[in-house]
């Protein structure tokens, strides 16, 4: 039986339309925590500059994508994976969940999507940088890359687009790492980010919550095992068909999208 869900979002602060955690919570903020917007911007900019400045980086992640049924039940779809980046134009990403096991590789010219559980793959010519790939995958193919917002060379400008309110929530701890906790609001989404303190300000958790419906759903991604520079094993960008997978058209590569095939997309409420 198909499970109907409202039309899902493309999970980024630019195009998040259906998704969360919906806890009604009253927060009393101290004067210092309420309004140090300049410091919050500085911390976010430092993270953006650090990530953009790494010629090679890699991380593991655990993500949860939430969707809403017509009965207003919130369903969380969990996945894990790894991302390896070599700037300016190479990336390899994996995503394994309960219904898909996918690997994506990009060598600066060709994007290959391999459905490991299907033993089938497709290829699309998208010559250009990682930034260009991210935009094409989001806007043309509705297949956003994991943590795409944060991998852009100028993620700060994109993240701050339309931001109307900023809060510095002080410190938090994610996976044993002390982080600066920041919250931002725009017209369509609320989002939070936890950034590791110290010389390497990498993101530890990123949460986007939709405001397009009551109790809006969320997309959250938690990072671990960050590496940069020579610590990164920068390989796997060129596809090698070692499993003798069948080549198919993108539309025929079923079961590799963000929702299971038995979920039927409905209209946003």
Query: pLDDT digit string (tens) for 238-266?
Result: 999 999 999 999 988 987 877 776 666 65
Domain assignment of residue 269, yes or no: no
For the chain, give the mean pLDDT: 86
Read off the pLDDT of each residue in 30-35 and give the average, rounded to a whole number: 46
For the stretch 65-97, pLDDT in tens is: 998 888 888 889 999 999 999 999 999 999 999
CB 237 within 8 A of CB 90: yes
DSSP 3-state percent helix, strand, coil across the chain (nearest 5): 15, 40, 40
pLDDT value of position 26: 35
Higher pLDDT, 221 or 10: 221
Read off the pLDDT of each residue in 135-163 and give the average, rounded to a whole number: 93
pLDDT value of position 30: 45
Domain assignment of residue 3, yes or no: no
Q: How far apart are CA 74 and CA 228, in angstroms?
A: 36
CB 86 within 8 A of CB 56: yes
Q: How far apart are CA 64 and CA 75, in angstroms?
A: 10
Domain assignment of residue 17, yes or no: no
pLDDT at 27 over 60: no
Higher pLDDT, 14 or 110: 110
The per-residue DSSP string of 205-252 comes to EEEEEE-SSTT--EEEEEEEEEEEGGGS-----S---TT-PEE--GGG
The DSSP output letter for 1 is -
Domain assignment of residue 265, yes or no: no
Token pair 């899902």 is found at 8
For the four alpha carbons of 247, 252, 257 and 262, in that order, the dihedral sign comes to negative
For the chain, how many structural domains are there in total?
1
Q: Where are the beta strands (DSSP E) in 99-160?
A: 101-106, 110-115, 120-125
For the stretch 155-198, pLDDT in tens is: 999 999 999 999 999 999 999 999 999 999 999 999 999 999 99
Domain assignment of residue 241, yes or no: yes
Domain assignment of residue 1, yes or no: no
The DSSP output letter for 32 is H
Higher pLDDT, 216 or 84: 84
Please give the residue range of the domain that contains residue 149: 34-258
CB 253 within 8 A of CB 102: no
State the pLDDT confidence band at 106, using cuts at 50, 70 and 90. very high
Read off the CATH number of the domain in which 64 is found.
2.50.20.10
pLDDT at 231 over 50: yes
Contact residues for 198 (Cβ-Cβ < 8 A; gap 6+): none
CB 116 within 8 A of CB 103: yes
Domain assignment of residue 19, yes or no: no
pLDDT at 24 over 70: no
CB 268 within 8 A of CB 4: no
The DSSP output letter for 173 is E
Domain assignment of residue 217, yes or no: yes
């Amino acid at each position: 039986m198909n499970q109907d869900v409202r039309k899902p979002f493309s999970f980024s602060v630019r195009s998040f339309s259906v998704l969360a955690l919906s806890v009604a919570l009253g927060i009393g903020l101290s004067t210092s925590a309420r309004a140090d917007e300049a410091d919050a911007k500085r911390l976010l900019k430092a993270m953006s500059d650090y990530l953009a400045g790494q010629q090679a980086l890699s991380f593991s992640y655990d993500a949860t994508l939430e969707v809403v049924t017509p009965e207003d039940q919130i369903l969380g779809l969990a996945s894990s994976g790894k991302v390896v980046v070599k700037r300016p134009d190479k990336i390899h990403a994996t995503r394994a969940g309960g219904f898909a096991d996918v690997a994506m590789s990009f060598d600066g010219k060709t994007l290959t999507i391999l459905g490991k559980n299907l033993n089938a793959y497709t290829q699309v010519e998208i010559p250009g940088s990682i930034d260009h790939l991210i935009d094409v995958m989001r806007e043309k193919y509705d297949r956003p890359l994991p943590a795409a917002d944060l991998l852009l060379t100028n993620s700060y400008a994109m993240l701050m687009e339309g931001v109307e309110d900023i809060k510095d929530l002080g410190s938090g701890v994610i996976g044993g790492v002390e982080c600066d906790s920041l919250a931002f609001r725009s017209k369509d989404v609320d989002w939070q980010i936890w950034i590791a303190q110290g010389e390497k300000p990498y993101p530890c958790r990123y949460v986007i919550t939709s405001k397009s419906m009551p109790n809006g759903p969320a997309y959250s991604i938690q990072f671990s095992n960050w590496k940069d520079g020579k610590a990164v094993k920068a390989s796997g960008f060129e596809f090698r068909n070692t499993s003798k997978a069948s080549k198919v058209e993108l539309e025929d590569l079923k079961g590799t999208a963000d929702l299971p095939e038995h979920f039927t997309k409905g209209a946003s409420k």
